Amino acid sequence: MESMCINISDDDLGFGAISPLLQFNIKSCVIQTKTGYEAPQAYDIERPVRSTPAYTNTAANKQYRYDYEYEVATRKASVPWSMEEDLALTQLVRDHEQRNWSEVARQLGHAFPNRMQRSCNQCNQRWMRVLCPGIKKGKWTPDEDQLLQNVMLNCEPKKWKQIALQIPGRTDIQIRYRVLKIRDFLLQAGVPEEYIQ
């Protein structure tokens, strides 16, 4: 964790006054204030890691602060899926042949009221990338590697979902990681580098 120290007076401590100084990539900073002859006080201010433009007026600073606080307040904690949730999701997917993920997520939330509410996207991703019985989870075979090479030569670069449709039993995530793992093999086979990175 990186820290920096900026000495400012109590009058300048308002958010709008110091915000332009802090609009670059830092995790947190410690600001020490001088108050006469008393010991300096330390304030720990959390900042986003992403780059943000340097705002110059107070309204923009307030909007930035509001956006950041809203983002932090609405961020969902990552909670692992339980075996019971997986079983319930599997049953709900069987019941909803049309794959209405909003309804699946709603019913899953009713089944587990004391757990974090899962979004329709979370349910979809859990099913499509983990629970679907058609997903292969073992090692890649040489035939699959050869098929991957041929498909990559005929598809647009980095269109992992399109590639996954042509390789049975493998997800887009599995394909992306496999491409990175056999990068040298693919380059020797003539796959352009922009398809791999």
pLDDT at 154: 86
| pLDDT tens, position by position, 19-35 | 444 444 333 444 444 44
Rounded Cα distance, 131 and 138, in Å: 14
Helix axes 142-154, 172-181, angle to 10 degrees: 100
| pLDDT tens, position by position, 37-63 | 455 555 555 555 555 555 556 776 777
Q: What is the mean pLDDT of residues 189-195?
A: 82
- Overall pTM surpassing 0.75 (yes/no): no
Residue 60 amino acid letter: A
Residue 7 confidence (pLDDT) above 70? no
What are the tokens at 48?
A: 């986003």
